[in-house]
Each structure stands twice: as structure tokens, then as C-alpha cells.
Amino acid sequence: MNKDIATPIRTTEILKKYGFLFKKSLGQNFLIDPNILRRIVTTAGVTEETNVIEIGPGIGALTEHLARSANEVLAFEIDDRLLPILAETLSPYENVEIVHADILKANVHEVMGEKFSSPEAPLKIVANLPYYVTTPIILQLLHEKVPASSMTFMLQKEVAERISAKPGTKSYGSLSIAIQFYMVAELAFIVPKTVFMPQPNVDSAVIHLVKRETPAAMVHDETFFFEVTRAAFAQRRKTLWNNLVSKFPELKEQKNELEVRFSSLDIDLSRRGETFSIQEFAKISNELARFLKNH
């Protein structure tokens, strides 16, 4: 087996050879611990039947571990300075394809169709995501309905806690709902900042998201549902009613009628947003959509 890229000595050698300097604007932090990488691949459940999309391969540390286990790996890299490095570090692996593209601007479905030789194989997404674009990337992958059965990401610990949070906790918010609506979220393990080069200021965590067969609740209008959940957390200390009135001022005059409607659904408008489950938010948004349509 080829010696691991992800050791402090080998990483330093590679960076020195190419005169590579980290770009803060791209949130580049490279992993230098092969054990963590093996654990990510295991958590993701990658097997030789699996195709994998990776985002931001860096110098190929995680990519090579994926390549050793997967059928094919398709990695999106935005930084053109890394392309010659990846061409060298990943040369032993014939099942890896690097695409020079910003994942947020790429047509992922199209690229998969072009680059995977067996596009029908089950798909997983695995990545060590740059902190500054974590949320937009995950939400876009869900919005574009990229057909992955699971997504496993290394990201900032605090964001991982928000994504996997349960109702009634400090971390629970509209991001928890936006992702858990489609995926079952589990915080797999914490990763100390000491295993990165350069060292970030905060610890990371690996989160494992498994696609639900059907969304967590039945909603009539998904766009409106997410609008309502974002509104409910606009000011965390406010009640659901006060946050909804800020978003939909036309509700102000209708409080009594709405209280009656919602109490029949066991929804108390004086609760705060963080106390409601996804299923309760579905009831709220469905009822609210009906009400606004008729008024």
C-alpha cells in the first residue's frame, strides 16, 4: 500500500515541493492523521460497490482513503493550485477523477453522468468541508436532490451540533430543521484541532446524514414551510406568535381566530420556536398557508 499523504512529515514535504501557501479565504485546513481519515470512511460506510463525491480534496488526504475503499471517487476542487499536487499524490489510484469546479456552481448531476463510468452505483458524499461554506454546500446538495443515500462531513463542531440538535435544546434552530427534514442526522465523533495543518481555532466534528425515505413531515408547500421555520427563529427569545407577526404583519388583527385554530392542533402560540418539533412546524405552516390563502 502507498504511504499515507496525511502525516505531518509527508504533508510538509508535499507543500514544500510545490511552494504551496494556505489561502485563508478558502478555509484550507489539511488533515494530518490517517486514523481520523479511516474513521471517516468507516462512518460513511463506503464499500467497493459505492461511488463517492468528495468536496475540497486539498492534497488528497481523505481522497486516497476513499479511493482504497470505494468503486469510484469524483472530487470537486476549486483551487487550481492544487490540481498538479493532486495529479501526483493520487496517481496510484485509477478510480479517482478530479474536477476543477466550485461545487456551488457546478451541475453535479451532469458531472456525475459524464465522469462516473458506472453512474448507477449507490452514491455517498464525503468531505472535509471548509468552515465558511459548510451550510450553503449542504443545503444546495439537498435542494438539488443529488441522489446520495448518505452524506458524511467533517465540519466545525458548533455547526455539527446545530445540524443534529433536538427540539428544546440551545443548538436547535432553522438549520437543524432544514437538514433533518430530509436526513437523519447523527454527530458521529469529535475531531480535535490538533490533527489539522494549519491548526484551526476550534474543534471539528464528523456528522453522518442518512437520507429519509420520505421527508420527516407532510407539508403542502416546502418553500413556505422553511420560510415559517426561519421566521420562528428570527429572534430566539420571542414567542412563535411575535416572530410570525414580524414576518407576516397581516396576521396581527387575526390573533383570536388563529389561537382557536392552532389550539385545536395542540399548538400554543406563546411557546418559543425552539420548543416545536418538525411535525409541529408542519402543522403550523400547513394551517398558516390555508389561513393566508383565505384572508
Annotated binding site: 29, 31, 56, 77, 102, 128
61's grid cell: 488526504
- 3-class DSSP state of 180: helix
Query: Residue 130 has what DSSP assignment?
Result: -
Total residues belonging to the chain: 295
- The residue assigned the cell 510545490 is 18
3-state secondary structure of 98: strand
Work out the number of other CB atoms within 10 angstroms of the CB of residue 139: 14
> What are residue 239's DSSP bridge partners?
272
Q: How far apart are CA 284 and CA 261, in angstroms?
A: 10
Virtual torsion, Cα 80, 81, 83, 88, nearest 10 deg: 180
Are 116 and 74 spatial neighbours (Cβ–Cβ below 8 Å)?
A: yes
Give the side-chain half-sphere CA count within 13 A for 192. 4
- What residue has cell string 514535504? 13
Q: Which residues are annotated as a binding site for S-adenosyl-L-methionine?
A: 29, 31, 56, 77, 102, 128
